[in-house]
């Protein structure tokens, strides 16, 4: 009986791990990629990839280290750093026309470490930005998103692969 209960606990634990991975992949509008690098290296590579797109108007604005902030209050958290980046040439006219869109943009990416020690990079897809966030603010959602989607793919691939 004890052995059967131990086997059941192992199966439950494996199911929870499998479901947590599936939940990550199933979040609508969020792209999550596993990084082969440490949190610090993934952040550095992400910044470098954004800076490499400076001729196209991209800028890296800021990093918010949630784990460091938690630590200041005596709380423990695995690494979670929010990276804020964007393209002012594209975003500024939108914010001038619709100030409240600044709640949702510029785009952000999250570099985080899971309980299993793996490092991940997550961000809103271009489809989510243009199909959900823009319409939320009364902006047209039918804009061409291919250039932005390609930039996100290139930046995130460089940061993680």
What are the domain boundaries of the chain? 28-160
Cα 113 from Cα 155, distance rounded (Å): 19
Average pLDDT for the chain: 88
Mean pLDDT, residues 97-109 taken together = 96
Q: What average pLDDT score do residues 24-48 get?
A: 91
Write down the pLDDT at residue 105: 96
Could you read off the pLDDT of 81-98 as tens digits, one per residue? 999 999 999 899 999 999
pLDDT of residue 1: 53
Confidence (pLDDT) at 5: 52
CA dihedral 115, 120, 126, 131 (to 10 degrees): 0
Instruction: Say how far apart CA 72 and CA 60 lie, in whole Å.
Output: 25
DSSP-based three-state secondary structure for 63: strand
* Residue 143 pLDDT class (50, 70, 90 cuts): confident
Q: 141 pLDDT band (50/70/90 cuts)? A: confident
> At residue 25, does pLDDT exceed 60?
no
Q: How far, CA to CA in Å, does 116 sit from each of 18, 87, 89, 112, 120?
A: 12, 34, 39, 11, 11
Model confidence at 144, in pLDDT bands (50, 70, 90)?
A: confident
Please state, as a whole number, how many other Cβ atoms lie within 10 Å of the Cβ of residue 114: 15
CATH code linked to domain 28-160? 3.30.310.70
Examine the pLDDT at 34 and tell me if it is beyond 90.
Answer: yes
Q: How confident is the model at residue 26 (pLDDT cuts 50, 70, 90)?
A: low
- The answer to whether residue 10 scores a pLDDT higher than 50 is no
Residues 107-128 have a mean pLDDT of 97
């Amino acid at each position: 009986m004890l052995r059967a209960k131990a086997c059941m606990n192992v199966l439950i634990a494996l199911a929870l791990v499998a479901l947590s991975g599936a939940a990550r992949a199933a979040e609508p509008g969020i792209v999550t990629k596993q990084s082969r690098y440490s949190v610090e290296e993934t952040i550095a590579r992400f910044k470098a990839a954004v800076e490499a797109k400076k001729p196209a108007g991209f800028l890296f604005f800021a990093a918010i280290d949630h784990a460091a902030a938690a630590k200041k209050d005596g709380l423990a958290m695995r690494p979670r750093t929010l990276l804020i980046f964007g393209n002012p040439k594209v975003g500024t006219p939108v914010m001038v026309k619709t100030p409240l869109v600044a709640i949702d943009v510029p785009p952000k990416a999250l570099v985080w470490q899971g309980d299993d020690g793996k490092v991940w990079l997550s961000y809103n897809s271009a489809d989510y930005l243009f199909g959900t966030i823009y319409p939320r603010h009364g902006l047209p959602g039918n804009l061409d998103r291919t250039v932005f989607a390609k930039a996100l793919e290139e930046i995130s691939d460089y940061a993680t692969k």
